[in-house]
Chains A and B, each alone.
Chain A
Amino acid sequence: MFRFDPYSPAVDADPFPFYKTLRDEYPCFWSEEANMWVLSRYDDIVAALNDWETYSSAKGNLMDEMPNRAGNTLGTTDPPRHDRLRNIVQFAFTKKAVEGLVDPVRASAKRALDAVRGEKTFDFVADFSSKVTVDVLFGLFNLPRENERMVRDKAVLMVQSDPRTRQKGPEHIAAFQWMGEYARELVELRKREPGDDLITALIQAEVAGEKLADREVQMTITTLIMAGIESLSGFLTMLALNLADHADARRRLAANPVLIPEAIEESLRYNTSAQRFRRCLQKDVDLHGQTMRAGDFVCLAYGSGNRDERRFPAAHLYDIDRKPKGHLGFGGGVHACLGTAFARLASRVAFEEFLKQVPEFVRVQDQLPWMPSTTFRSPTRLELAVA
């Protein structure tokens, strides 16, 4: 009897064989462990992403939602309120708006690389991806330069779940609450001292003639910090892993850095850190011979849709020449990732610098320690040996 348990360490480590069985044999699967349906084929996920009236986000979008978060963030609100809220935030994240980050990302990457210069081995997570993402995010939001390490640790902890109890443990909830409190203090600070920054813009913004509630501002900031730090560093780490495992691709990038964006797109498809999100059904849906009921939760397994051979030929191969337009690495539809332009730019600049200084590297660990998370996937350490 096939089972799919997104809490299982086996799924954290390698979800792809499970995904293949799901796509081929159980395209509309009820997971008892997750207590929700799982959609795994590209076409089904795209159809669900477009149909927000049926596949609602208002009851949360993370596989394991955090207390009193749903309804207070972009990703957990449906249109039309979502669209108005997004309209306010979006302009801070357009391609043009993030262009100014090229120099800060480059400077940050150089600092991190200087610190490991001469080392034979280092941990890509602690020594590079964490440092750069924290640095750049603090700059982006103009956050006070204190608690940087703590913010990073909490952002990483809050997205995790406990594999034994199959829910968030007290340490994960506490991390989320710490971040909420941190965001609340930032809001208080900006209320006293408004600036030319996104937090001030959120505080002052009006949606349909109403100011955002404090909880909405606070939870939106919490989510942006989580995404900007945890998701982005998770992605950078997966990209480094792919380049360690695919030496030919890495050598091509090092020799010709204009190819870096191609590797970024293929990594977003191949094994992006954002693996699974969820929706809640607003009406009964019949799919592949199953009836999903109104009120049921549905997991959209982006990581599986991205490996669907029906959409991407030879999907199991990492191929930087693929140009995988339409991949689900940033989700899709009205809730597609807000930070796409920021993530692409930061990843490109960070790897331009990284490959300049470290063009040859191999991975040290055979088995990687994977973060226990039902939503995201990346290793907590990635030791690289410089060749």
Chain B
Amino acid sequence: MAKVTFIEHDGLQQVVDIPAGWTLMQGAVQHGVAGIEGECGGSCACATCHCYVDEAHIDALPPPSETEEQMLDCTASERRGNSRLSCQIRMSDALDGIVVRLPEAQS
């Protein structure tokens, strides 16, 4: 289990536990986090699980794959240096305490 803080665009915070092995997107969807859609089911094909990862954890993540890079260019809200697709972030103990901010729009 890793503790994750989701911060919606309007500032609403939600802290949830996500099991190791699940993706950040699935954990968000499971707990009803409104700002994550995940339309494609986690196959990196829709860019509706876009999120901004806090500076303290961004370097702990493996870099985005070529596909994720391309999909990150298709996000509805602005792409920033810490933009990632949450379906490509697989949870582990190393990510305990991660803080994830959500964009204004996903689609």
Residues of chain A touching chain B, judged by Cβ–Cβ distance below 8 Å, are: 46-47, 49-51, 83, 86-87, 90-91, 93-96, 311, 325-326, 328, 330-338, 340-341, 344
Which B residues are CB-close (under 8 A) to A330?
Answer: 40-41
Identify which of B3-11, B18-26, B52-60, B94-102 touches chain A. B18-26
Contact of B26 among A83, A91, A332, A340 (CB under 8 A): A332
Contact of A46 among B22, B46, B74 (CB under 8 A): B22
Which A residues are CB-close (under 8 A) to B42?
Answer: 49-50, 332-334, 336
A83-B65, A90-B67, A326-B38 given; A338·B26 CB < 8 A: no
Chain B residues 70 to 89 lying within 8 A of chain A, measured CB to CB, are 70, 74
Contact of B74 among A96, A332, A337 (CB under 8 A): A96
Q: Would you call B46 and A326 a contact (CB within 8 A)?
A: no
A46 vs B30: C-alpha distance when bound (angstroms): 11
A87 vs B40: C-alpha distance when bound (angstroms): 14
- Judged by DSSP, the binding face of B is loop
Q: Would you call B21 and A325 a contact (CB within 8 A)?
A: no
Number of A-B contacts (CB under 8 A): 75
A228 vs B44: C-alpha distance when bound (angstroms): 20
Which B residues are CB-close (under 8 A) to A47?
Answer: 19, 21-22
Q: Would you call A336 and B41 a contact (CB within 8 A)?
A: yes
Q: Would you call B67 and A333 a contact (CB within 8 A)?
A: no
A93 vs B66: C-alpha distance when bound (angstroms): 17
A324 vs B45: C-alpha distance when bound (angstroms): 19
Residues of chain B touching chain A, judged by Cβ–Cβ distance below 8 Å, are: 19, 21-23, 26, 29-30, 32, 37-46, 65-67, 70, 74, 90, 107
Which A residues are CB-close (under 8 A) to B39?
Answer: 340-341, 344
Which B residues are CB-close (under 8 A) to A344?
Answer: 39
A87 vs B71: C-alpha distance when bound (angstroms): 10
The 5 residue pairs across chains A and B that have the minimum distance between CB atoms: A336-B41, A326-B29, A336-B43, A332-B41, A330-B41
Q: Can you name 8 extra interface pairs (CB under 8 A) apart from A50-B23, A86-B67? A: A47-B22, A90-B45, A328-B41, A330-B40, A331-B41, A332-B41, A336-B42, A340-B41
Q: Would you call A325 and B38 a contact (CB within 8 A)?
A: yes
A32 to chain B minimum Cβ distance, whole angstroms, is 29
A50 vs B27: C-alpha distance when bound (angstroms): 12
A94 to chain B minimum Cβ distance, whole angstroms, is 7
